[in-house]
Structure 1
Amino acid sequence: MTSVDFWFDPLCPWAWMTSRWMLEVEKVRDVNTTFHVMSLSVLNDGRDLPEEYVEHMREGWVGVRAALLVEQQYGSEQLREFYTALGTRYHLGKEPKTIETVRAALAELGLDEAIADKADAWKPGDEPDELDVALRTSHHEGMDPVGDEVGTPVIHINGKALFGPVISPAPKGEQAGRLFDGFALVTEYDGFYELKRTRTVGPIFD
């Protein structure tokens, strides 16, 4: 079995697309995906950003902190389920990135709804709390191997870490498996760094 470690921020629609692809891959390849939390808000902390993007990053804290709390209290399998519940609301349902949306995702899975309050208790500018320290640790475990010039999704496979793939829509069935085969293949070459073209479509959620 191939073990894949996948870092995501619930806020990111591209990470959502890649995560749905990995779930398809598991159906057609002997692959197990472990989900981990990274944070675009951590990644962009202190950077000079347009004001609208700064607000977007502020919105990201509650969801990503809640995701880490779910992982801490319930384990990685429940983190995967929580990501699906929250991501469905964020990206398909277009629900706001608020404590109420986080609470609804927790309630759907029968998880402790107080997690939403704990996640929302810390605000940017506050002194770091234990959860903030843990979030940054998880973030850096995923992101440091790929550097700070990329965001999410990040996949670790075969001892290598790569940003991507950025896909839209997410392939299904054997096509998902074949894409994974190619992705896994490039991780075998130490000198591989980048393969890219301009995106001409946004995330296609199907």
Structure 2
Amino acid sequence: MATPQRNEGRGTVADLWFDPRCPWAWITSGWLLEVERVRPVEARFHVMSLSVLNEGREVPEKYRRGMIEGWGPVRVCIAAEQQYGPHVLRPLYLAMGTRIHHRQAGLGREMMLDALAEAGLPAGLVEAAEDPGYDDALRASHRAGLAPVGTEVGTPVIHVPGPGGELVAFFGPVVSPAPQGEAAGRLWDGVLAVAGTDGFFELKRARTREPVFGPA
């Protein structure tokens, strides 16, 4: 489990768990990067997996293919983190997400090779996509993200330090499109307020639109 942190240079550290193939996590990550511009926040990125989350569950047939193909990108992310450090996850995720969600490049080898090149990482990392030897580390990262919020949620998950240094963790926010500028900051303030309230568990309404991606 991530330890809540204050960053002396940037203020609050927000740890975000993502799966590159999740469109809602992609939008939330864009919102969090916008929050960095208007609040003293530093986003740090970690890997979770919808393929791990949905193991053994009955899922619609249209999602089964994604569950199979989804192992590749998260394994590559874990391999990159293990070999080059957690700081490489931000550029690698942004490169993957741009290709998956804006360019509709799929989850395959060419997408991963292009993303690795953009992130300045060796092409050889793509071989991790077919290597289950990375799955223990992937599952450990996944569990660390979900532990404070439970298994009945998906991606993204965010951990932040509360007012007293305690861990505050939440799923989401699920928003479409991501607010910009001060609107992003106001949403951040509100999310922290409710997530940091003792006994608060859920605030939800039905989604009425598909994911709306901003500029790549």
Using the size of structure 2 for normalisation, the TM-score is 0.89
2: CA distance between counterparts of 1:137 and 1:13? Answer: 23
Among 207, 210, 214, the alignment partner of 1:202 is: 210
Post-superposition Cα deviations, 1:130-153, rounded to whole Å, max 9, x if no partner, equal x10000000000012211111011
Establish whether residue 45 from structure 1 lines up as the match of residue 45 from structure 2.
no
- Give the structure 1 partner of residue 149 of structure 2: 146
Please list, as runs of the form range in 1=range in 2, the aligned pairs for 1:67-78 lying within 5 A after superposition. Answer: 67-78=77-88
User: What is the match of residue 13 of structure 2?
Assistant: 3
How far 1:156 moved relative to its partner?
Answer: 0.9
Tell me the residue number matched to 1:20.
30
Q: Is the 8 A contact 1:99 1:120 kept in 2?
A: no
Between 1:13-22 and 1:96-105, the stretch displaced more is 96-105
Q: What per-residue deviation string (whole Å, max 9, x for no partner) do you get for residues 49-95 of structure 1?
A: 22221111111110111111121222222110000000000000011
State yes or no: 1:156 paired with 2:166: no
After TM superposition, list the pairs within 5 Å mapping 1:182-201 onto structure 2.
182-201=190-209
Q: Does 1:135 align with 2:138?
A: yes
The DSSP-based 3-state class of the residue aligned with 1:32 is: strand
> What stretches of structure 2 of length at least 5 have no aligned partner?
1-10
Q: Is 1:119 paired with 2:129?
A: yes
RMSD: 1.1
Identity score, percent: 55
> How many pairs were matched up?
199
The answer to whether residue 206 in structure 2 is matched with residue 176 in structure 1 is: no
Deviation at 1:114, TM superposition (A): 0.8
Q: Which runs of 4+ in 1 moved over 3 A?
A: none
Instruction: Say yes or no: does 1:107 pair with 2:117.
Output: yes
User: 1:126 corresponds to which residue?
Assistant: none
- TM-score, normalised on structure 1? 0.93
Amino acid at match of 1:138: S
Q: Distance in 2 between matches of 1:121 and 1:61?
A: 9
Deviations 1:97-117 (A, max 9, x none): 101110110012221111111
Equivalent residues of 2:18, 2:49 under 8 A apart: yes
SS at match of 2:184: helix
